[in-house]
A and B are shown apart, each in its own frame.
Chain A
Amino acid sequence: MARAKDWLVAALVLLLGRRTRTVRAGAPRLVPKRETDDRAERVALLLLGLSSVCAVAFIVVYALDRLPAQTQLLGLALGLSLLALAAALIVTGKRLVPEEELADDYPPEEHPAEQDDVEQLVDEGVDGISRRRLLKLGLVGAGGALGLAVITPALSFGPFFRVRELVVTPWRSGRRLVDEAGRPLRAAELEEKTLYTAFPEGADDEQQGSPLVLVRLPRQELDLPPELAGYDAEGIVAYSKICTHAGCAVSLYRTPLFPPTEPHPALVCPCHYSTFDPARGGRVVFGPAGRPLPMLPLEIDGKGYLRAKGNFDGPVGPSWWGVRNRKAGS
């Protein structure tokens, strides 16, 4: 009991006891004195206490296992702890320290004498050298060569010059079309007004040249350009799924629910809304794409499975300076 009283007295002394002090007695003050603001001191103290409580709450919430909304509680505790501390500091800045507004000179705009000195110093350090121009040239040469040498290992990043890989696709004549699970696709299971994704059997799905979008259109609606005649298989058309604009997967299929407003079915890329016409060889009908979607010729084998009849009619993926419009990749 006596111990508790001692503690209480000590706490009260800490809370209520005050002292002001001066470092150099007698010397003129450098900072003007501010009237003690009792209320503001108490507010700051309270805020610091709140900050401590919230910080402890953060530790407690962390220690408790698998609370619901633990992230929210942690953020709340830490955020409030920091904000209370910030508020205490702002109160200190606004109410407890002297308010001063002082004037000072901006630094001089320039130092002409020192500028001259610097120039002279640099010059006089090397003015005994007779072939200065030649030496300077040599220095630039050595610096340049060394610079080149130092950045040469960056070429190991490579392959900088094997850009032909950009147009390679795994599609070959006779290769079967499979779905994401690797199951071969039968022509008969493809319905109209639905978008299917297909891959070359046994190839890497992640390769740009692999994924296809497949749609079945009524044959009378097909209006393929002459060079793509026969690319469809009973109205099923296949295009590269990689948008020729910026590479996103063309995964939206706009089918005309309201013929007056949306007359044609269209394949749409959700990134920048390049819109392609599947009935007309993947022609761009809207949006930023500059090339049609590359089309893959299809056939149906004896068992009803879909197979490629060759490679795409043009390079797959976003354009680059070496891409020719409508030219087959290898």
Chain B
Amino acid sequence: MIRGAVRFLDQRTGTAPFLRKTLRYLFPDHWSFLLGEVALYAFIVLVATGIYLTFFFVDSTHQVVYHGPYLPLRGQRMSEAYRSVLDLSVSVKAGLLIRQTHHWAANVFLAAIILHLFRIFFTGAYRKPRDLTYYIGVTMLALALLEGFMGYSLVDDLMSGMGLFIAYAVGLSIPFVGANVMAGLFGGPFPGTESFWPRLYMAHVLLFPVLIGTLLTVHLILVALRHHTQFRRRQAETERTVVGVPLWPGQTPRSLGLMIGVAGVLFLLGGLVQINPIWLWGPFHTYVSTNGAQPDWYLGWLIGALRLVPGWDLEIGGYTVVPNPFWGGVAFPLLVIGFLYLWPWIERRLTGDHGFHNILDRPRDAARRTAIGVAVVTLVLIVLVAGSSDRATVLFGISYDSQVWLYRVLVFVGPVVAGLVAYRVCVELQRGEAVEHERHRAEGEARRAALRPQRTGRPS
């Protein structure tokens, strides 16, 4: 059967030599190399569950009155979009499972991308010849953040409406063009006209998934063209020779197992762990908001940034040229994403290293890179935690104002301290290794020296 299939394919495509090579394509083995794969599999689950959801979702903000089976909302005014998701959640069989799995998959997708980014960054995997792969990866991260946000905005529940209004205000704050761009997208001032929802919907289910899918394909092709990076564990692993498990038979069951395992975990989460219970939030209206509203975790750093910036507007001649949301909502994320894009170039400038690298650094091997990376991660993490300070007020009764002031100081002090500590740790680890290495060498020499007189002194 296999023979027949291969012959069929080869006679029509001439790809038997390619297939033969592909089956023996090597995958260097390290657990951290699987993080990118997890992101890929979460994306596959997202597409599959997302397609199912599109068959039930209605992309309209036309206002209707709810008469469905969920009693607490009966008689309430809501958009058709919200009603369709409510129906999907309470009336459609397995609808809630698919919707919650979709939401969980989005959270896991972003988590896997970011952990994958950490691995790439702290091991120097982005260096030539894989810088192009890296830039595409960073682009996908930015797109995925927007895609996730649009996804939960579409539901038009109270939380999503609040988030969307904030996004509108952030867009509005872009100097000189913000108001025009937002009026254009929304069809007028927020909440805009009914033409906006189909736009948001198409962006979420077509434009962005296709963009991400295309970049993903290019990303994978680039990885395969240049082969994977590897750690230097043995003499065999060099800049010229890749050592690993072949695609067939070693890697195939592992990767398939990981894919199906990721899907399994996501469906378990989707079934057992409630996420975004939109029937509790109720429909959105411009004049309604609630306390304790939090975005999905991967946008926590943006709400944190919006909250931490003091009330500064840049005014010129009485005009608000740069309104406040610009700092936290536009400048800060651009700074972080911009750092990611520029870092390979910055590092080349700092080190003068323009060479090819197939062997990965361990974080300690590049103390400066590790320190800078740790500083940036600390900055984003502090801002993310600051985004939940209202929850800390409710849970622990700590004054909100004093928390905000604490975080305002911490965002400057924290990264510097964390960076210095990371640098110190790297240097100490290097030193420890050097000492160890020296000891091994000295011991070996001593052993040889101890053996030598015996060997030479033995009467023959």
Residues of A within 8 A of B (CB): 23, 31, 62, 70-76, 78-83, 85-90, 92-94, 96-107, 109, 155, 157-163, 165-166, 197, 199, 205-208, 210-211, 241-242, 245-252, 269-274, 284, 286-291, 317-325, 327
Contacts and interface: CB of A to CB of B under 8 A. Distances in A.
Q: Which 8 residue pairs spanning A and B have beta carbons closest together?
A: A75-B271, A82-B264, A290-B313, A79-B268, A89-B257, A319-B323, A93-B253, A211-B287
B229 to A, nearest CB: 10
Given A83-B261, A270-B291, 7 more contacts: A89-B254, A103-B26, A107-B226, A206-B286, A242-B287, A247-B169, A321-B323
A52 B286 CA distance: 49
B223 interface: no
Contact of A73 (B180, B191, B263, B271): B271
Interface string B230-256: 000000100111111110011111101
A323 B320 contact: yes
B184 A93 contact: no
Nearest to B180: A160
A325 B286 CA distance: 23
A64 B43 CA distance: 31
A9 to B, nearest CB: 26
Interface of B: 3, 24, 26, 29, 93-94, 96-97, 100-101, 129, 162, 165-166, 168-170, 172-173, 175-176, 178-185, 187-191, 199, 225-227, 236, 239-246, 249-254, 256-261, 263-272, 285-293, 303, 306-313, 315, 318-325, 328-329, 356, 358, 390, 400-401, 404
A321 B320 CA distance: 5
A42 to B, nearest CB: 17
A71 B227 CA distance: 43
A39 to B, nearest CB: 17
A89 B288 CA distance: 51
Nearest to A245: B324
Contacts of B172: 318-320
Contact of A249 (B250, B287, B400): B287
A290 to B, nearest CB: 3
A82 B401 CA distance: 48
Contact of B267 (A78, A103, A206, A288): A78
A82 B290 contact: no
A71 B97 contact: yes
A245 B169 contact: yes
A62 B94 contact: yes
A263 to B, nearest CB: 13
B320 A325 contact: yes
B318 A325 contact: yes
A271 B287 contact: no
Contacts of B129: 109
Contact of B250 (A82, A98, A106): A98
A89 B252 CA distance: 9
B276 to A, nearest CB: 14
A271 B242 contact: no
Nearest to A92: B253
Given A31-B249, A78-B267, A291 B168 contact: no
Nearest to B327: A288
Contacts of A88: 257
Nearest to B77: A205
Contacts of B96: 71
A205 B188 CA distance: 16
Given A74-B94, A166-B179, A273-B400, A288 B268 contact: no
Nearest to A98: B249
Contacts of A90: 253-254, 257, 261
A80 B310 contact: no
Contacts of A78: 97, 264, 267, 271
A320 B257 contact: no
B184 A157 contact: yes
A158 B185 CA distance: 7
A79 to B, nearest CB: 3
A93 B271 CA distance: 29
A321 to B, nearest CB: 5
B94 A270 contact: no
A143 B172 CA distance: 32
A98 B93 CA distance: 44
A290 B289 contact: no
Contact of B287 (A23, A82, A101, A197): A197
A75 B257 contact: no
B227 A271 contact: no
